Amino acid sequence: MNPNNYASLEASQRLLSSGIVLKTEVRWYRYKGIWSEHSYPYKTIEEISIPRPSMAEAWRELPDSIDGTFEDQMADTYELMIGKTGGIAYAGYFAHEQFENTNPTDALIDLLIHIRKEAT
């Protein structure tokens, strides 16, 4: 399994801390203080688990576009974009804040947290 196709433990924890809980196929489980991922229901003594979104699971939670203005111009619609330059992935909307990470799924998660926070 390519780890960049899934959220890191830190990004998964940021997502949960921000109050966003996604239904995912893979979860992080903690057993005896050690976190590991599993793609099936897994019972542990501690029974502590958090969702570990895939890139597709994070992507589908983001709006296709957002409305806004750029440099005091007329209101416009900006499309969701993701790319990679020099080993760094970025996710965002044109003329708005972009989030960068070596893990593209983590960049999408940081964008999702930002978008949901702005919506409230």
Instruction: List the chain pLDDT tens, one digit each, 120 residues.
Output: 787 899 999 999 999 999 999 999 999 988 888 898 877 665 555 568 899 999 999 999 999 988 876 566 666 888 899 999 999 999 999 878 899 999 999 999 999 999 999 887
Residue with tokens 């969702």: 51
CA angle 22, 120, 8 (to 5 degrees): 35
Structure tokens at 117: 């926070």
Q: How many CB atoms lie within 10 A of CB 49?
A: 19
Is the pTM higher than 0.85? The answer reads yes
User: Phi and psi of 3, rounded to 5°?
Assistant: -65, -25
Q: How far apart are CA 84 and CA 16, in angstroms?
A: 26
